Amino acid sequence: MAQPLSAPAAPAIHRDGRLGNGGPDAAALREARLDLAACFRMAARLGLSEGICNHFSLLVPGRSDLMLVNPYGLSFSEVTASSLLVCDFAGNVLMGEGQPEATAFFIHARLHLRHPRATAAFHTHMPEATALCMTEGPPLLFANQVSLKFHGRVAVDEDYGGLALDAAEGDRIAAAMGEADIAFLRHHGVIVVGPDAATAWDDLYYLERAAEAQRLAMASGRPIRPVHPAVAARTAAQMRAEASDSARLHLDSVRRRLLREEPDFAD
C-alpha cells in the first residue's frame, strides 16, 4: 500500500545538508531525531505499525516550515535517528537519503501547514484503535479511566476518500481534524497531534490501550456503561494538569529502554 513520492509532487531532491537561514541548533535537532526514532522503535515493539506503511513527523526545532519524517521503504523497526529525513512542505528533501512515502507527505505536510500547533503528527493503522474506526457510532465510548485522557479531544473524519495521494485529500483530513488532538479516520486509522514528540507518543500509546479495553468489553456482548459525563470531564481535566511532565518522563523511559536493548536506534 505504501507508495513513493514522485514528480511532479516532489521537486528536485537536495542532500547537501544545508537548511538555509535559521537552521536549527545541532544539539536540538539531534534530540528531536532521538525522540522521534525512539517513538518509531517502541511503536514497532508494541505492534502499532504496519509493514512499511504509517508515518510519524516532527517539526524541525525552531522551524515551522520543515519536518522530520521517516523515509519510504523502512519499517518502524529499522528507523534510526540519522535515517530520518528533513523535508519542506513542497516535497524537497533537505537532509537525508531517500524520500518520504507519498501519503506521509500529503497528510503530514498539510497537517503541519494548516495546524501550527501540531509540532508532532503521528499516523498509524494500529489495530485496536483502527478497529473502532470500523464501527457505527462514536469510536471511543469513554467507559474506562484511560479513555478519559481523550475526553473532549477527539474528532472523527466520517468521509473516507481513499489514499491521500494529493494535497486536496491531505487538506480534507486536516480540516476534519479541526482543533482536536486525536482523529479517528473512518475505514482507515488514527492521527495524533501534539506540541512535541513526547506528548504525541504518550497519547498514541494510551489511545491504543483505551481502544483495547473497549474492544474487550464489546466482545463480552454486554452493554457498555460510560462514565458519567461530569465525572469524565473532571477526570480529563485532572489528567491534562500533569500531562506534559508525565509524557516527557514516559518517552525518557522509552529512550532508556531502547539504549539498553536496541542501541542502534540512536545511530
pLDDT single digits (tens) 42-55 = 999 999 999 999 99
Q: Which amino acid is at 104?
A: A
Q: Are 60 and 124 in contact (CB under 8 A)?
A: no
Q: Are 220 and 166 in contact (CB under 8 A)?
A: no
Q: How confident is the model over 99-104, as a mean pLDDT?
A: 88
Q: Are 192 and 203 in contact (CB under 8 A)?
A: yes
Q: Are 158 and 172 in contact (CB under 8 A)?
A: no
pTM > 0.85:
yes
Mean pLDDT of the chain: 91
* pLDDT for res 10: 43
Q: Are 154 and 236 in contact (CB under 8 A)?
A: no
pLDDT single digits (tens) 214-262 = 999 999 999 999 999 999 999 999 998 877 899 999 999 999 999 999 9
CATH superfamily of 26-266: Class II aldolase/adducin N-terminal domain (3.40.225.10)
> SS3 letters for the chain?
CCCECCCCCCCCCCCCCCCCCCCCCHHHHHHHHHHHHHHHHHHHHCCCCECCECEEEEECCCCCCEEEECECCCCHHHCCCCCCEEEECCCCEEECCCCEEHHHHHHHHHHHHHCCCCCEEEEECCHHHHHHCCCCCCCCCCCCCHHHHHCCCEEEECCCCCCCCCHHHHHHHHHHHCCCCEEEECCCEEEEEECCHHHHHHHHHHHHHHHHHHHHHHHCCCCCCCCCHHHHHHHHHHHHHCHHHHHHHHHHHHHHHHHHHCHHHHC
* pLDDT for res 150: 97
CB atoms within 10 A of CB 227: 19
- Banded pLDDT at 190 (limits 50, 70, 90): very high
* pLDDT for res 100: 92
On the question of pLDDT at 8 being above 50, the answer is: no
Residue 258 neighbours by CB under 8 Å, 6+ apart: 38, 41, 42, 265, 266
* pLDDT for res 2: 60
Point out the least confidently predicted range of 23-27, 40-44, 149-153, 183-187.
23-27
Instruction: Name the pairing type of β-strands 120-124 and 189-194.
Output: antiparallel
pLDDT single digits (tens) 119-128 = 999 999 999 9
pLDDT single digits (tens) 191-208 = 999 999 999 999 999 999
* pLDDT for res 17: 47
**pLDDT above 70: percentage of residues in the chain:** 91
